[in-house]
Structure 1
Amino acid sequence: MKQLIIITFFLMSSVVLVAQPTFDLGIKAGINNSKVTFRASEYNSESIVKAHFGAFGRLGWGRIYVQPEAYFSSKGGEVFEEGTPSERAGRFDYNNIDIPVLLGVKVINGGMANVRVMAGPVFSVMTSNKIDGNDLLNKQYYEDNYFGYQYGIGVDVSNFFIDARMEHGGELYKHPTLDIDGKNQTFMITVGFKIL
């Protein structure tokens, strides 16, 4: 009898949990501090500041939530050969549609104010690319799309939130013969507003 009561309680709790999810939908925008790191030691890179904007959804059950997003993001970096003066630097610019799917946990669940941690994969589709400066790189070797991952922390206050995230992307520049493949690395600060 005791086991039956425990099983019944567990099933009822599960039904309530599944039956009462929360859902938020909103818009977001922020800044990117991004750079492209290269495998070859003779290539150095420095970060540049760009922007991103888009939309997000958040489906939650208690402290746990899943947050899919879609946003336009500009990234890039300054690139130069080791030992060359900084005025010879090339600029590496590209635009993406980024689609992360993050799993998050509210570590402080205060109702109107929450503190969250999140992590998950991101799929990026390149929409444009450009290289200015010297001939270190060739824009034809950009990848059209690539996978990466993000992780970070966020704070909710009423319908507003602010997130700080780190993104490590896959190979977005792959040369067929030279061993200089480049990867994206971006720190993002985002402000968002929940519409629903």
Structure 2
Amino acid sequence: MKKLVVLLLFLAGLVQTSYAQNFAFGPRLGISQTKLSFEKGNFIPQDAEVGYHLGVFARIGGAGLYVQPELLYTQTSGSFVINQPAGPSPGGSPTVFEAEFNRLDIPVMVGVKLFKLLRIQAGPIASIDVNSDLKSSFNTINEVDFKTASLGYQAGIGLDIGNFYLDAKYEGGLDSVTEDIAGFETDQRVNQWVFSLGIKLF
């Protein structure tokens, strides 16, 4: 987290000293399409699910280059089954597990504006766990090692139409979100498409 703050301050200072000043601030909200990804363990991800996010953003920059930090509350979810003898239910069908992630996201996008309308951007995102859990059709799974914080990246495009800022980004993980489920090593990551709208207030 300290490294993220230092990076944000450095980039903001670079833009302020090198380019004409522009500043924007306002609310941001949107939806995401999330799918779990496992590097280890006998876990099979299910179909992608829809989540949401809301918060605020700021944009600092000028002359085509900008830095855009955001502070967002994000709710995402994903489901999977365990491919092992203990996984199926007594009826023979595999037990479906549903993970819900409630977190505080801090993405810091660095972007370039093209033709005063289109933007290309990328940057890191830090995620802090707020209240995540894992449930099956039978009960809540308590033996889950959710990480307090994780790091990922986002990259995508955006459109500026008046005071409305539209963004479409892909988010991937740089480290795991959960490392252990009921004694099984997982190295589980969250990958998602993020679609959001920001409204410039000033």
Please report the TM-score for the alignment, with normalisation by the length of structure 2.
Answer: 0.79
1:152 to 2:156 alignment: yes
Contact 2:37–2:189 (CA under 8 A) maintained in structure 1: yes
Aligned to 2:52: 51
| Equivalent residue for 2:177, pick from 154, 165, 172 | 172
Structure 1 residues 16-50: Cα deviation after superposition (integer angstroms, max 9, x where no partner):
97473100111110001112211136211132111
Report the Cα distance in structure 1 between the residues aligned to 2:163 and 2:131, rounded to whole angstroms.
33
SS in 2 for 1:120: strand
Aligned to 1:99: 106
Aligned to 2:122: 119
Q: In structure 2, give the amino acid aligned to 1:115.
A: L
Larger radius of gyration: 1
List gaps (5 residues or longer) in structure 1: 1-15
SS in 2 for 1:21: coil
Structure 1 residues 27 and 82 mapped into 2: Cα distance closer, same or farther (>3 Å)?
same
CA RMSD after TM alignment = 2.4
Report the Cα distance in structure 1 between the residues aligned to 2:197 and 2:142, rounded to whole angstroms.
35
Please report the TM-score for the alignment, with normalisation by the length of structure 1.
Answer: 0.81
- Report which stretch shifted further, 74-83 or 50-59: 74-83
Structure 1 residues 21 and 86 mapped into 2: Cα distance closer, same or farther (>3 Å)?
farther
Contact 1:39–1:179 (CA under 8 A) maintained in structure 2: no
Structure 1 residues 62-85: Cα deviation after superposition (integer angstroms, max 9, x where no partner):
110000110000112011124857
Alignment length (residue pairs):
177
Structure 1 residues 174 and 66 mapped into 2: Cα distance closer, same or farther (>3 Å)?
same
Aligned to 2:197: 191
